Amino acid sequence: MDLDVVGDPLSASAGALIAHTLLGEGLPREAENHMWQAGLSYHLDEIAEKHLHQAQALAPGHAAVLIGLYRFYFYKGRLSEALEIARRCITHAALENGLAYDWRQVKAADAAFGSYESILPRFYLFSLKGYAYLQIRLGNLDEGRLATKKLLELDPTDKIGARVLLDVLERMGQSDDE
């Protein structure tokens, strides 16, 4: 299995649900319009990105805008930029959940990570999963492994599917004969 099979950690199913359900609250109508326009002009990179940045200017740090930027950069293959947005998502989610800003210091008891219905802790987990995934894709395997192990510590029942990242890391470097 390679990482391309894993897909987008803040995929439509995760990112859209999170952004729409709770994190979309408080998004100014004009920013929402720019997000909509970015989606419509997705195939026109400069125009779509301009709309995303306009939404960001109107709603700086809003989770729905961050998810939109992350997904844009991710699907355009601009992984370093997606990684920067993943970091911002982690910071935003840490603030919203009352967690330590350094993900390495977060403990399982710090939020309702075990409850898949708890949207803010889930946003944190998906943000950390995106971070881990991108670190691995960009060749930062040790950092990706640490983040993945933290995910499994926070979510030991693996509701968000972090174990697949660990499996990929374990298979990397093995020959097809092993």
pLDDT category of residue 3 using cuts at 50, 70 and 90: very low
Instruction: Flag whether 89 is in a domain.
Output: yes
Instruction: Flag whether 4 is in a domain.
Output: no
Contact 41, 54 (CB under 8 A): no
DSSP 111-140: TTTT-TT-HHHHHHHHHHHHHHHHHHHTT-
Query: pLDDT tens digit string along 105-161?
Result: 999 999 999 887 888 899 999 999 999 999 999 999 999 999 999 999 999 999 999
pLDDT at site 6: 47
What average pLDDT does range 13-31 have in this prediction?
62
Global pTM reads 0.84
Instruction: Flag whether 34 is in a domain.
Output: no
For the chain, the domain total comes to 1
pLDDT category of residue 37 using cuts at 50, 70 and 90: very high
Instruction: Flag whether 148 is in a domain.
Output: yes
Instruction: Flag whether 150 is in a domain.
Output: yes
Instruction: Flag whether 60 is in a domain.
Output: no
| Mean per-residue pLDDT of the chain | 86
List the domain range (segments joined by +) for residue 126: 77-171
Instruction: Flag whether 104 is in a domain.
Output: yes
Instruction: Flag whether 15 is in a domain.
Output: no
Angle at which helices 29-40 and 45-58 cross, to 10°: 170
Res 103 pLDDT > 90:
yes
